[in-house]
Amino acid sequence: MKTQRMYTVALATCPVLEPRTLRRLIDSSGDAQNVWQGTSQDWLTRVRLQPRTVGALERYCHHTDPRSVEASLNRRNVHCIVQGDEAYPQSLLALPEPPLVLFVRGNLHLLDTEKIWVAIVGTRRASGYAREAATWIGQTLAGNGVAVVSGLAEGVDGAAHRGALQTDTGYTGVTVAVLGNGIDLCYPAFHQDLYDKIALQGMLMSEYGPGVSPARYRFPERNRIITGLAQTLIVVQAGEKSGALISADLALDLGKDVYVVPGPITSRHYRGSNNLLRQGAQVLLDPMDFLRDIGLTPTTPTAFVAENFVPKRWLELYQLMNEPMSAGALALSLQMPFAQVYAGLLELELAGCVVRQSGGLYMQRPRLEGEQLTRDGV
């Protein structure tokens, strides 16, 4: 068993082998050791690999000692969890094609806990409202001991992760990011700070070994893992063709509850999520009510404190926007180049701290209904 595990990890780390291809190779060869010790002709005939893939795999096997692969990964703070390991999440076995190997960075002990895991998903092109909602939900859930699972993407994912890392109820917020690329790479690159925080405070997980670049076709594969890990799925915003709808369908197929944050009926950017509501998904209007639905007793209500999410370098810029101001007026007040101010406004908007109003004006994000003031009045 240990021998097969060793060869499985070594093959899964080969950057030219997609997880599905590896699964087919092992199924057709009998086990991972037979794949490793096979010939290029074996690989060509069994799964009809492209000649260049065969050549790359042949070179990889020739130059790699399978006994040293996992130790090398561990030195880079990457751990491997293989199907059959005690730490392997049992919920993933319900997937049609569960991952053979998971590459993990961060707190492995999360896999041993009895935490409830909830996925928060939605579009990359999220509205300000959707970002605010995702942040608020992530913060409230993590502040009540729930592990928030998402995909580290721009938009809803990033907002949910950031919210989960900012709790004020006594819990250390925990969030799990499932990547659609190699475990050592952060995509998008501007989420590097988030990637680093999650590695320290939560867990990064991927089906792809180090060095595998992001690609469009890999994200649906990632989404199935997000859905498989979570007991419940929350869709914050989805258009008619959003990948979040595929995640919702899979969750329903697996017998999991799907909740949806309702969006404006006039916006095509919410048609997918609003259609889920019409088809019977449960509505999420308040994360505190959601916590009660899943059997938890909420602790002190978590307020969305926008200032917690403001990068220090933009704090002075943020504080000026207690009333609507244009980018030009802000640049003049701060004696700062317009391009620099605009970059700061974009970052603050993406973080859900400010909103852009008509006429090109910016203002601090209004407090959501029911939120409480902090002692600083933010």
Strand order in the sheet with 325-326: 325-326, 361-364, 354-357
Domain-terminating residue out of 31, 57, 74: 74
CATH of the domain at 243: 3.40.50.450
pLDDT for 48 equals: 79
Kindly state whether residues 66 and 209 are assigned to the same domain: no
pLDDT for 366 equals: 63
Q: Is 101 among the domain residues? A: no
pLDDT for 50 equals: 83
Nearby residues of 33 by Cβ (< 8 Å), 6 or more positions away: 3, 4, 7
Q: Is 88 among the domain residues? A: no
Residue 304, judged by CB atoms within 10 A of its CB (0-12, 13-18, 19+), counts as buried
Kindly state whether residues 323 and 247 are assigned to the same domain: no
pLDDT for 369 equals: 43
Kindly state whether residues 144 and 65 are assigned to the same domain: no
Kindly state whether residues 283 and 324 are assigned to the same domain: no
Number of domains in the chain: 3
Kindly state whether residues 329 and 360 are assigned to the same domain: yes
Domain-terminating residue out of 293, 328, 347: 293
pLDDT for 377 equals: 32
> What is the domain range of residue 329?
306-364
pLDDT for 118 equals: 98
Residue stretches of the chain with pLDDT short of 50: 302, 368-378
Kindly state whether residues 315 and 274 are assigned to the same domain: no
User: Cα separation of 199 and 302, whole Å?
Assistant: 24
pLDDT for 171 equals: 65
Report the candidate in 176, 193, 369 with the shortest Cα–Cα distance to residue 288: 369
Residue 112, judged by CB atoms within 10 A of its CB (0-12, 13-18, 19+), counts as exposed
Kindly state whether residues 272 and 330 are assigned to the same domain: no
Kindly state whether residues 159 and 277 are assigned to the same domain: yes
Q: Is 232 among the domain residues? A: yes
pLDDT for 373 equals: 33
Kindly state whether residues 202 and 268 are assigned to the same domain: yes
Kindly state whether residues 281 and 246 are assigned to the same domain: yes
pLDDT for 65 equals: 96
pLDDT for 374 equals: 34
User: Cα separation of 304 and 140, whole Å?
Assistant: 9
> Mean pLDDT, the chain, as a whole number?
89
Kindly state whether residues 330 and 284 are assigned to the same domain: no
Kindly state whether residues 7 and 119 are assigned to the same domain: no
CATH of the domain at 347: 1.10.10.10
* Contact (CB, 8 A) for 289 and 281: no
